[in-house]
Structure 1
C-alpha cells in the first residue's frame, strides 16, 4: 500500500502532582512492554506530564520522534488541564486511556485512581471541544491497554489519511446516475482537498502518454497478474498508457496533500474516445491503495479510501445490485446456513475489484457497454473489465455520504460473501448481511443512499464506527437486530 499513511504511535504518561509520578512511569513502561509483545510499535515519551511546562517538553519529544498519533495515558489520576492541553496542541489524532489498579496488596501507596481521573479528563476534553478516541471501557491493565492501542492505530490511520487526502475527479456525474451526486462542502469540512477536472483534461494527458517508455513494463506486470485470464492481450498497451496517465496525474497534482484518490467518468463517451473501459486499471490502482471510483462517485472514492486505511487491505466499490433467485437459494441452502433469502443480495460492478479479492478472474469486455455501443460486433471499445466471482469471506459494507443540506452520514454493515456461484457476469458475489431487508428499507432507502457501497474484505465495523465518530459524523447507521426498531419502522407488521 503506497497511498496510505504510516502511523507512528507515541505514548505520554500524565501524573497529578499530589500522586507519585513514579506510578505513571512504571505503568507506562509496562504498557510499552505489552505493546512490544503484541507487535505494536510505539514511541515512549519520557516526559511525565504534570504541568503546562511538561506539556511543551513532551511536545518537543513527540515532534522530534515524528509521532503522528498520540496515546495520553493516565497512569494515575492525572492533571486534567495539562493532559487535555497536550491533546489540543498535538497535531494529530489522540487517544485517552487509564490504568486499572494492579493488586490488592498495594492500594495505599500504589493506588493511582485513574478510574476517577478519566472522568475529569473527559469533562475537560468537552470544555476544550476536543474529540479524541476513548475506547468502550478505557480503563485496563497493561495488556488490555495495548489491545486498545492496537485498535487506535487503525482508527488513527483513517484520521491521518483523510486529513491529508486530495480527491481528484474527471467529468460530471452521468445524467442517469445523479444518485452519486452530492455537495462537496462536507469534504472540505473533513479537510479533504478537491480537484475537479474535465474529461478533456484527462484525454489530453492520456494522449501525451502515447508511446511512453514505461508502457512495456506495465504490460508485463498486467500479463503476470492476469496469467491464463488474459483474454484480450491486444488492449493491454492502451490500458497501461491509461494507468500511467492516472499515476502521473496523481504525482504531479498532490500539491499540499500526501494521498490521492480518483472519481472518474467512465461511460459512455469514454469508450468512444479512449477506446476501452477503464475497469481493470481501476482495480490495479485500488490494489495499491489509490481507489478510482466509478461514475464520478466522489463519496464512493472517499469510502473506499477510508476502508483501505482502516484495514490496510484493498477495497472495492460495488452496486447493491440484484436479488438472489429463490431457486438458487433453495438449491444451496446448505451453504446459506441460517440466512433468510432477503438477507442476501448480489454485489456487482463491471470489473473494478482487485484480483487479490477475487476467487477467479479474467480480462473480459463490458457486456452492457457492448450492447449499447457496438452491438453485433466483436468487442473492441468495450474491452477492459476484470471479471469473475469475488472471493468468499468476511466483509463490511460501508459508505460515507454528503447530504443535500451539507451534512455527513454513513452506514456500516458487517456480513460475508457466500461461496456460491452467482452465475452472472462482471465482478460479482453473493453477499449475506443479517436483517438486510430491513437495512435496505430503513437505511438505504429511507436515508436516501445511492446504489454504490464500499466493500472491506474483513469485519472492520469497530474501527470504522470509531473513526466516523472522531470525524464528527453524527448519523451512523448499521443493520439493526429485530429487537431494535428503526425510526419509522412499523412495530405492528
Structure 2
C-alpha cells in the first residue's frame, strides 16, 4: 500500500547535567542495538541533550536526517525543559521512555533516577500542551525500551497519516443520514484537509474517462478477481473500470499540499440512475489499494478507516452496526460453539464495500436495498459474501455537534457463521456488547458506521485516538466496571 506514511524513527538521549552524561550515552547505545536487531532502521542522534543549546543542535540533526518520529530516552533523570522543548519543536509524533536501573552493584555513579525524571517530563509536557506517547510501562531495560519503540511505530504512522491526509468528498449526505454529518472544524486541528465536491463533479470526471486506454487492463483485473462466472457483461464491467480510473486520477491530481488521500462519497439514491450501477464493488477495490472510500459521504468514517489502515498496515472496511442475530440462528449456530451471550453478538453489514480478500466466496450482485426503490436495471455492483472469521477491532473517531473529538474502540471477532443474508456481512462478537451499545454508542450519540480493522489492534488504535485529541475513548467495559450513568440497581 503506497498511500501510507513511512516512519523514519530517531532516538535521542537526554541527560541532566548533574548526572554522568556517559550513563545516558551508553544506555542509548544499547537501546539502539536492541531496536535494530528486532525492527531494523533507526537514526541514533549523536547529540545528547543536556541544555537548550543541545536541544537546538538535536533539532537541526533531526531535520538533516529526515526523521519524522522521535523517541526521547531518559538515560538518567533528564533535563525537563530542554527535553520537552525538543518534543514541542519537533512537530511530529514523539514518545518518551526511561531507563531502569541496571545493577544493585552499581547504584552510586551508575544510578540514573530516570524513574523520577519521567514524572517531571510528563508534567512539563502538559504545561506545553504536547501530546506525547508514553507507553503503559515506560521504564525498562534496553530490550524493553526497544520493544516500546516498536509498539510506537504503527501509532506514529497513524499520526503522520492524519497530518498528511486529504479527505475528498463527493456529494452531501443522503436524506435522513444526519448521523454521518459532523462538523469538519476538528479535522483542521489534526492537520487533515478536506475537499468537498458535487456529485456532478464526479459524474463529469467519469464521463471524461470514457474510452480511456487503461480500461481494458482494469477490466481484466476485475474479471480475474471475481469468481469464475461472477463478472458482469463487458459493457457494465467497462463502466466499473472507467469509474475506478476516474477516482484514482482524481486522487492523484487533487492531493495538493497533502501526501495521502481517502474518499467520502455519496452513493445513493440518485447515483445509480446516472452512472448505471452502484459503486460498492469499486469502493471495495479502492480499499484494497489502500484508498478507503466511505459510504454515504461519511467524512469521519473515511478518516477512521485510514487510521486503522495506518495501524494495521492492511485492508480495512466500514460497516453498519446493523442488526441483531435472530434467536433461532443464535441457538443453532452460536450457543453450542461459542462462549458469547445473545447480547454479545450482532451482524455487521454494508452493501458490498468490503474487499473480496476479506470475504468468503464474495460474489458480485444486485444491491437488494436499491432494487426496492430503483429496480434491477441499475442496481448491479455490490459485493455479497460472509466476512472471513477472525479477530477484529471496531473503532471510530467522531466530531461532535459542538466541534470536539470523541471516539471508541472495542476488540472482538467475526464468528464462523453463515449470515444467510446479503451484502458484505458477518456475525460479530464483542464481550459485553449489549452494555457497550447502550452506554457508549447510544449514550454518546455515535452514528451507525463503525470502522473495522482486521486483527486485534485495539491497544495501538486506542493510543492513536487519545493522541489525536479525543476527549474520551469509550470501550466495552467488563460487567464489574460500570459506565458513567449506568444504573447501579439494574
Q: TM-score, normalised by structure 2?
A: 0.97
RMSD between aligned residues:
1.3
Query: 1:329-369: per-residue Cα shift (whole Å, max 9, x none)?
Result: 11124664210011000001110001221222111121111
Contact 2:227–2:361 under 8 Å retained in 1: no
| Structure 1 match to 2:341 | 340
Q: Give the counterpart of 2:448 among 438, 448, 451.
A: 451
Secondary structure of 1:415's counterpart equals strand
The alignment status of 1:92 with 2:89, answered yes or no, reads: no
| 1:367-378 matched pairs, under 5 angstroms | 367-374=368-375
For 1:144 and 1:337, locate their aligned partners in 2 and report how far apart those are by CA, in whole Å.
36
Structure 2 residue matching 1:360: 3-state secondary structure = strand
- 1:225-275 deviations in Å (ceiling 9; x for gaps): 224262414322111111111111111111111111111010111000000
Q: Where does 1:58-457 land on structure 2 (aligned, <5 Å)?
A: 58-228=58-228, 230-234=230-234, 235-333=236-334, 336-374=337-375, 379-457=376-454
What residue number does 1:42 align with? 42
Bigger Cα displacement from structure 2, 199-208 vs 463-472: 463-472
Q: Deviations over 1:105-140 (max 9, x none)?
A: 221121111111111111221222211111112101
The answer (yes or no) to whether the contact 1:179–1:450 under 8 Å persists in 2 is yes
Deviations 1:389-425 (A, max 9, x none): 1010000111111111111111111100001111111
Q: In 1, are the aligned partners of 2:395 and 2:407 still within 8 Å (CA)?
A: yes
- Helix, strand or coil for the counterpart of 1:434? coil
**In the alignment, is the contact (CA less than 8 A) between 1:360 and 1:390 conserved in 2?**
no
Separation of aligned partners in 1, 2:277 and 2:351? 13
Q: 1:124 to 1:384 in 2, by over 3 A?
A: same
CA distance in 2, matches of 1:443, 1:343: 14
Q: Measured at CA, do residues 367 and 54 of structure 1 come closer, stay the same or move farther in structure 2, by a change above 3 Å?
A: same
Contact kept, 8 Å, 2:222 with 2:231, in 1: the verdict is no
1:461, CA displacement in angstroms?
Answer: 1.2
SS, match of residue 250 in structure 1: helix
**Counterparts of 1:445 and 1:334, CA distance in 2:** 26
Question: Partners in 2 of 1:215 and 1:108 — Cα distance?
Answer: 72
SS at 2:35 equivalent: helix
Distance in 2 between the 1:283 and 1:131 partners?
Answer: 34
- Which residue in 2 is equivalent to 1:473? 470
The 8 Å contact of residues 183 and 404 in structure 1, kept in 2 or not, is answered as yes
Q: What's the offset of the Cα at 1:218?
A: 1.1
1:449 Cα deviation from its structure 2 partner: 1.2
Contact 2:482 2:488 in 1 (8 A): yes
Q: Which stretches in structure 2 are left out of the alignment for 5+ residues?
A: none
Question: Structure 1 segments of 4 or more deviating over 6 A?
Answer: none
Structure 1 regions of 5+ residues with no counterpart? Answer: none
Q: How much has 1:26 moved relative to structure 2?
A: 1.1
In structure 2, C-alpha distance between the alignment counterparts of 1:119 and 1:55, rounded to whole Å: 20
2:292–2:305 Cα contact (<8 Å) kept: yes
> Counterparts of 2:57 and 2:289 in 1: how far apart (Å)?
38
